[in-house]
Copies of this chain bind each other. A is one copy, B any other.
Amino acid sequence: MAAAALAWNAAALLDKIRARHPRIHCVTNGVAQGFTANALLAIGAIPSMTTSREEIGSFVQGADALLVNLGTLDDDRRQAIRLAIAAAKAKALPWVLDPVFIERSPSRAAFAREIAAAGPTVVRGNETEIAALSQGQPVDAYARDLKAIVAATAETDHVMDGTRVVGTPNGHPLMAKVTAMGCAGAALIAAFLVVADNPFDGCACGLVAAGVAGEIAAEHADGPGSFASAYIDALYGLDSGKLATRARVL
């Protein structure tokens, strides 16, 4: 799909999310839970957040997509993640892996590689995290081997599946100054995967929507505190017209 077509597709997928209200189960860290839930609600999705082993299977069974964020990993969380992924695979749900800060902890990096091998639909991380995960392998080759879409975020995000790559330059520097912005972005990707024809487009369109919301929010912000609120407002007010007008895909 060509760049212009992807931008239009993002707008169409947003309308589908608003109509369908996909349920996104998020295994994410305590820092990110509230902001991620509010981002999903603002886009029209329904978040759930439990990380309890006793409950997570039921919650994922009732969901349309799964987000696995590796922030704050203990034994319980690891087991909950394995159960969540098993439930997602049993229902063939799309799921997103967000390997937060794996370059800071060898045990977290090892666990991330185990989880990546379980077949995520999308792996989304910043360039440092993706490099730690791919252990130096070129990212497009890593994506091909993994049979997953890999999104490496930076000033321009790049989406790869091993055969093609698109860049999504929408966004604003204040996005890097708000905690959980990337975690929430991964949750938005999960929502787009539910309604997309294919995961490559779903991932790219989710990144585009997040970036456009960031640009709109920056026009109403005095700093990262007001930006965080304005970002949720921008996601809520985003419509297919604004998205199609502002979306840029390289």
Q: Which of A41-85 contact B (CB under 8 A)?
A: 41-42, 47-55, 58-59, 62, 71-77
- Rounded to whole Å, the gap between the CB of A65 and the closest CB of chain B is 15
| Cβ–Cβ < 8 Å partners of A59 in chain B | 101, 104-105
Whose C-beta in chain B lies nearest to the C-beta of A33? B31
How far in angstroms is the closest Cβ of chain B from A130?
Answer: 18
What residue of chain B has the Cβ atom nearest to residue A178's Cβ?
A: B38
Say if the beta carbon of A138 comes within 8 Å of chain B: no
Contact with B along A204-247 (1 / 0, CB 8 A): 00000000000000001111111011111111110000000000
Are A31 and B34 interface neighbours, CB within 8 A? yes
Complex CA gap A222/B73 in Å reads 36
Cβ of A52 and Cβ of B38 under 8 Å apart?
Answer: no
Can you tell how many copies of this chain the complex includes?
Answer: 3
Nearest residue, chain B, Cβ from A62: B104
- Give chain B residues whose Cβ lies under 8 Å from the Cβ of A198: none
Q: Select which of B33, B42, B226 is within 8 A of A224 by beta carbon.
A: B42
Q: Please, could you name 11 A-B residue pairs with CB atoms under 8 Å apart, sorted by A?
A: A34-B35, A37-B180, A42-B177, A42-B225, A49-B71, A55-B107, A59-B101, A222-B233, A223-B236, A224-B232, A226-B230
A interface residues (Cβ-Cβ under 8 A, vs B): 29-35, 37-38, 41-42, 47-55, 58-59, 62, 71-77, 101, 104-108, 177-180, 220-226, 228-237
Contacts A55-B105, A58-B108 known; 9 new A-B pairs at CB < 8 A: A30-B33, A31-B34, A34-B180, A54-B73, A54-B107, A220-B222, A221-B233, A225-B229, A228-B232
Closest 6 CB pairs of A and B: A225-B232, A223-B233, A225-B229, A37-B179, A223-B236, A52-B74
